[in-house]
Amino acid sequence: MRTINLWVKDGYLSTPDGNSIYFWGFAASPDAPAQVPGPHLVVNQGEDVTVNLVNQTGAEPVSIFFNGQRGVRTEAGPVRPQYDAQGRLVSFVDHAEPGGGTISYSFRAERPGTYLYESGTNPHKQILMGLYGVLVVRPLDFDRSVPGLKTAYGAGSGTEFDREYVLVTGEIDPVLNAAAERGQPYRISKFRPRYWTLNGRCAPDTMLGDSLPHLPHQPYGAMVMAQPGERVLIRLAGAGIDNHPLHPHGNYSRVVAIDGSLLRNGVGDRSYHKFTVLLGAGQTCDLIFRWTGLGYTPANPVPVPLPNRRNMGVGDLGFTMWSGSPYLGVKGDIPVGVVSFNEMGEYNFMLHAHEEQKITNWGEFPGGLMTMIAIYPSLPPEAGSLS
Amino acid sequence: MAQVRKRLGATDGKIRMPDGSEHYIFGFVDITGVPDDRIFDFRGKAQLLSPLIEAYQGDEVFLTLTNLGMPGRPDLDDGHTIHWHGFPNQIPVWDGVPEASMSVPVARDLTYYYRPLDPGTYMYHCHFEPVEHIQMGMVGPLIVRPELEKRPQYARRRFAYNYAWTEFDREFLVFLTELDSTAHRMVEEAQPYDWTEYRPDYFLINGRAYPDTVRREHESELPFQPYSARINAYRGERVLLRFVNLGFQQHSVQVPGISLTVIARDAQVLRGTAGEDLIFERDTVYIAPGETLDALFTAPVPGTYPLYCRNLHRITNAGAPMGGMITEVVVRPRPLGCPPVREGENE
Ligand SMILES: [Cu+2]
Ligand SMILES: [Cu+2]
């Protein structure tokens, strides 16, 4: 039995180009700020889950739609659509009225996997306003301390992993958010995103750490960090209304599950390798990324000499994430005056939407739906663990 | 193991659409073997697509990028890079991401080194301000041929991957991009462009819009768009189509009358971890930016089969039908005296 309480509140998101955008989001406690995405919900397969929702906004009813969960109920019975007095559909499921209304959902988390939870009320508006999050269901036999049991889909499913990250995509049209703030109408058919987000942040904020004081409503960083050879489970979730082709540099990934469904047919493996994954709106996709490298070290040097760094473009944007060396764990020369965010000679591989207009903030590169996969020579075991 | 040495110049240029309009582009041009004192003759001669890069699995590829500058934009001192999109286990210095390694300033060179171990269909592009440099045309195809072709028993036969069932007689590229003429004009005029307003009005296969797609390669009237998109085969031949999408939109491509067997996606042959057969048939290839896909078909009854983007607003040139992403598969009867391509397929 697991009880989760969520509060719906509002606040202002920050974008790296200095914009402040009104939003609605879920909060983990009455005193906590609303956040995008909502708190990661991590439960165990077979667990009975109750989610209590308090709608503290004054504007609209709010509900939660648990994608991929079966038999979701409220106190009154199975969830059902809600209509207004004129018979117009308002919510796909029972909702909490504005101004402090509550609703309680319960379900049994039957299947392991990665799922979205999101508003089922005026979803074309409320999801874009930030009312979404990710639910992770651990397999029955999950045990993070036993190598063969630290899996996404259970022992023997071929989904063993060393570290895991959640990456949720979203889009923002500030005109929609401003209309919601003023209580004005907005035509979703005119939707024109100017920002694209990973874990609620636009690049380069995606590459910053978790829970930063200056991003109170965007607590989740989107850096993927690992050591060479580690199996990195990347749980992708498409929370917006658009489809995104996501391209991790550095290596292809093995696609192991879609929508919480393991790519396996009896004993037959149906997983496959991709260097670009098209993530559909509302879809989730679990990747296992593993980078083993090419074996170059100072003792086994790269076969072409690198030119003098002073003759090259290093830090064209005013900063670099490069170490200055071709070798992992080695710090080389960075031209004077260039700020390097490289810590210990780690390798950075970009992960981004390949519809490249989406890696801008309102048209300015770099930004948007972009982050890095950083391969560190060594990394503490806590990095890349969901609580 | 052989060595492949190639040198690409990065510069700008102009391309032409079938409606007579001209568009400013950035791109690469092949300057392999050109003496150093002559390379600047290639300024302003960028081509779309950029030159095909080919290698065998296991080859050593030394790819030198020289930034020749932009005669059409003398104010612009942008760097350039080469990003081999999809190269497994890459290291940052050869990955071409300026933020994670380095870019090549005007009048400088950088030699990228690759030893490709996975055959297949890839793409390369510049990764410097990628939204601008990719849209402006710094995109090209990249093919890694399987080691299987070098085995004596397979001499003079051609394969897409290291499986005998990936054999083909002819291969063609279907490389999809879009062109937003407003963006190209703004870049040419050194005006800022809001990339969130991206709205392409030309839709290209192999750097050309229909009907130029079905014209021959190296047409004199299309000096900087050397690649034809016409697909020619004799009946019964096995034809490999190498699809690449390096635009910013998802495309759904059809060839009515021809069923495609999808054998690989993203340069990975469709086999499960224990050898499971994951190949599938499609009449439609739905492909996203940054994806590649290899499909085989057996050339059917002679005739002309249109291949086009089923997102039909994209078979236009600046709004005018019929143009854009259309080309033709032309199947001819096998000439008399021409031996059957393979046993059992002599219809
Ligand atoms: Cu990239
Ligand atoms: Cu790419």
DSSP for A8-52? EEEEEEE-TTS-EEEEEEEESSTTSPPBSSPPPEEEETT-EEEEE
The reply to whether B8 and B84 lie within a common domain is yes
Asked if the C-beta of A338 comes within 8 angstroms of chain B's C-beta atoms, the answer is no
Tokens of A25: 């989001």
Instruction: Tell me if A131 sits within 8 A of A8, measured CB to CB.
Output: yes
Tens digits of per-residue pLDDT, B300-331? 999 999 999 999 999 999 999 999 999 999 99
Residue B344 has pLDDT above 60, yes or no: no
The verdict on A211 touching B (C-beta cutoff 8 Å) is: no
Nearest to A312 among B108, B266, B272 (CB): B108
Query: Both B248 and B323 in a single domain?
Result: yes
Domain assignment present for residue A138? The answer is no
Share of chain B above pLDDT 90, in %: 95
Query: Residues B214, B105: one domain?
Result: no
Same domain, B83 and B186: no
B246, part of any domain:
yes
Number of structural domains found in chain B: 2
Tell me, what CATH number does B262's domain have? 2.60.40.420
Q: What residue numbers bound the domain in which A334 lies?
A: 306-345
> Could you tell me if residue A109 is inside a domain?
no
Task: Evaluate whether residue B242 is within a structural domain.
Answer: yes
Q: Please give, rounded to a whole number of angstroms, the shortest distance from the CA of A81 to a CA of chain B.
A: 33
- Min Cα separation B263/chain A (Å): 12
Question: Which A residues 244-303 touch B at CB under 8 Å?
Answer: 245, 247, 249-252, 268-276, 278, 291-294, 296, 302-303
Of B125, B156, B187, the one marking the end of a domain is B156
Residue by residue, what is the 3-state secondary structure of chain B? CCEEEEEEEEEEEEEECCCCCEEEEEEEEECCCCCHHHHHHHCCCCECCCCCEEEECCCEEEEEEEECCCCCCCCCCCCECCEEECCCCCCHHHCCCCCCCCEECCCCEEEEEECCCCCEEEEEECCCCHHHHHHCCCEEEEEEECHHHHCHHHCCCEECCCCHHHEECEEEEEEEEEECHHHHHHHHCCCCCCHHHCCCCEEEECCECECHHHCCCCCCCCCCCCCCCCEEEECCCEEEEEEEECCCCCEEEECCCCCEEEEEECCEECECCCCCECCEEECEEEECCCCEEEEEEECCCCEEEEEEECCHHHCCECCECCCECEEEEEEECCCCCCCCCCCCCCC
Domain assignment of residue A260, yes or no: no
Q: Is residue B163 part of a domain?
A: no
Query: Given this model, what pLDDT does residue A267 score?
Result: 85
Q: Over 50: is that where the pLDDT of A48 sits?
A: yes
Residue B162 counted as domain residue: no
Token pair, residue B164, equals: 């005998």
Domain boundary among B126, B156, B186: B156
Domain for residue B136, yes or no? Answer: yes
Report yes or no on B346 lying in a domain: no
Same domain, residue pair B174 and B308: yes
Task: Count structural domains, chain A.
Answer: 1
The answer to whether the CB atoms of B276 and A269 lie below 8 A apart is yes
B93: its two tokens: 């210095």
* Best of B26, B195, B287 to mutate (most A CBs within 10 Å, chain A): B195
Of B104, B197, B272, the CB nearest to A312: B104
Q: What is the A169 CA–ligand 2 centroid distance (Å)?
A: 19
pLDDT tens, position by position, B171-213: 999 999 999 999 999 999 999 999 999 999 999 999 999 999 9
Between chains, do A320 and B273 touch, taking CB under 8 Å as contact?
no
Tell which of B156, B185, B210 closes a domain. B156
pLDDT tens, position by position, B75-116 = 999 999 999 999 999 999 999 999 999 999 999 999 999 999
Q: Confirm whether A235 is domain-assigned.
A: no
How many angstroms separate the alpha carbon of residue B290 from the centre of ligand 2?
A: 6
B150 plus B186 within the same structural domain? no
CB pairs under 8 A between A and B: 180
Judge whether B337 lies within some domain.
Answer: no
Confidence of residue A239 (pLDDT cuts 50, 70, 90): very high
What is the structure's pLDDT at B339? 63
Element (H, E) at A256: strand A253-258
Its pTM surpasses 0.80 = yes
The model's pLDDT over B135-180, given as tens digits with 9 standing for 90+, comes to: 999 999 999 999 999 999 999 999 999 999 999 999 999 999 999 9
Domain span at B49: 3-156
